[in-house]
Structure 1
Amino acid sequence: MTLLITGGASGIGAATARLAAARGHKVAINYRSREAQAKKVVADIVAGGGQAVALPGDVGHEADIEKLFEAAERALGPITHLVNSAGIDGGTMRADEFDEAVLARLFGVNVVGLMLCCRAATRRMSTRHGGKGGVIVNVSSMAGTIGGRPGKSAYAASKAAVDSFTMGFAKEVAMEGIRVISVRPGMTETEMTEQALADPANRAAVSATIAMGRVGRAPEIANAILFALSDEASFISGVTLDCSGGGFVFWNR
């Protein structure tokens, strides 16, 4: 089994890479700028007896995506599983502050790049194209269900697009041996959120909006992703799996 993880150098992607390797996957870890972190994850996997490679590429660029898939297959063999974990948050912007270039980059990575990765995977996995099937997990966000937190409506919109695409895409390839699932984390401790969660008051305020009263941890999301990738989920496709600590609440405790 060969798993390609976009954005696999840190956060949920890195936690998924480590867990997947422990469960027998060969893992291709894509990164854009975190080369040292990606190579550290690879080194840890190899030290534990697994197989892994670190591969550069910006999923916001179509040419990089094609090169990434080709490099992963050269290194580890046919790709059987894909986790689209690469994403950016686009900063904090009200609608009256939107910047066209920022929005284009946000949707270029979070939506268009993800869709093109799914295209590349389909061309390799689909029985229609001579493949043997496979599984794709798109990492979305609970933000897409509520419009995001203040100043994050654009990010939320990009993740809502991922969920909608996942449902439609899964129907297209269901008869071609491919399962597609969207995993929606709630607020989770990663490099993307560490600045927001560093302030104790802000962390407490965010935690109060989660039913379990705390933010998630990357390995918790990785466990859900690995379930979705596994044969235990063989009849699950075209759905969203919420990893949200019970969902949003809006009352004071």
Structure 2
Amino acid sequence: MGNLSGKTALVTGGSRGIGRGIAERLGRDGALVAVHYGSNAAAAEETVASIVAKGGRAFAVGAELGVDGDVEKLVAGLDAGLGAREETAEKPALDILVHNAGLNFMGRPIEVLTPEEFDRMVAVNVKAPFFLTQALLPRMREGGRIINISSVSTRVASSGGSIGYPLTKGALDVFSRTLAKHLGPRGITVNAVGVGFTHTDMTAGALADPAHRESTVSRTALGRVGQAADIADAVAFLASDDARWITGTKVDVSGGVGL
């Protein structure tokens, strides 16, 4: 296996799209991967099966984020999957935490975004990563990795005026920098990955429109739409020992959107 053998990883939103690509890549590199999902258990099991079929190790963990008790349920599932024994064994350790799960109400400028939509995005995109990290920090090994999936939308304004999602990702960027300094003495690195236009379930509809796709490609320096593997490879690098001296930064993995 690869350079993550002996490591354990949790990928939130790991059942589909970018999250699945990340989970599969970390599994291929040797990590035992907890594939988190919110509602689609079948997709999570498909991802687990894909990792196992390639010689890796993985298990699914279900918990809807952004609701009461989400962190507790996710952590309990993680412990069960890692084989923790209640009361008699130490809590299982974690090496790599990837905050990938996110919610985006697309095409919602300030004039129409509702308080309910805003609160929901904050709950999933900011509050859940914050308190999940808080819960898991005591079991993060020294020299661990925390990787937050952010967005290019924090530096390139949306042509449609979409504002709520970029705001939440901006908060995640601040979280990354501050946590990187705080956890430096433990050798834990914290970085963000700025994702650009990427083929996912969420973007499939928009990219099916030739005009929209052409506009998207024209704004990207490398002249194509990103694939999940493009993001996963960058995350795998940040999770590896090769990235041991990189922390508190945001890696733009967008193909050069808006340059």
Q: TM-score, normalised by structure 1?
A: 0.92
Cross-structure match for 2:12: 6
2:244 to 234, 250, 253: 234
Asked if residue 200 in structure 1 is aligned to residue 210 in structure 2, the reply is yes
1:150 to 149, 156, 160: 160
Cross-structure match for 2:118: 103
For the Cα contact (< 8 Å) 1:62–1:113, is it kept in 2? no
Cross-structure match for 1:215: 225
Cross-structure match for 1:128: none
Letter in 2 for 1:48: K
Question: Residues 134-156 of structure 1, C-alpha deviation per residue, up to 9 Å, x if partnerless?
Answer: 11000000001123341311111
| Residue 45 of structure 1, CA deviation | 1.4
Asked if residue 94 in structure 1 is aligned to residue 117 in structure 2, the reply is no
1:178-189 correspondence to structure 2 within 5 Å? 178-189=188-199
Letter in 1 for 2:52: V
Question: Residues 58-99 of structure 1, C-alpha deviation per residue, up to 9 Å, x if partnerless?
Answer: 221352222212321332242111100000112321211120
Count residues with an aligned counterpart.
244
1:92-131 correspondence to structure 2 within 5 Å? 92-125=107-140, 131=141
Q: TM-score, normalised by structure 2?
A: 0.90
Q: What runs of 5+ residues in structure 2 fail to find an aligned partner? A: 1-6, 83-91
Cross-structure match for 2:88: none
Percent sequence identity is 37
Asked if residue 21 in structure 1 is aligned to residue 6 in structure 2, the reply is no
Cross-structure match for 1:70: 76
Greater percentage in helix = 1
Cross-structure match for 2:85: none
Letter in 2 for 1:71: G
For the Cα contact (< 8 Å) 1:59–1:114, is it kept in 2? no
Question: Residues 200-224 of structure 1, C-alpha deviation per residue, up to 9 Å, x if partnerless?
Answer: 1110011111111211100010000
Q: What's the C-alpha RMSD, in Å, of the aligned pairs?
A: 1.4
Q: What runs of 5+ residues in structure 1 fail to find an aligned partner? A: 126-130
Question: Residues 169-191 of structure 1, C-alpha deviation per residue, up to 9 Å, x if partnerless?
Answer: 11111112311010111111111
2:235 to 213, 216, 225: 225
For the Cα contact (< 8 Å) 1:3–1:25, is it kept in 2? yes
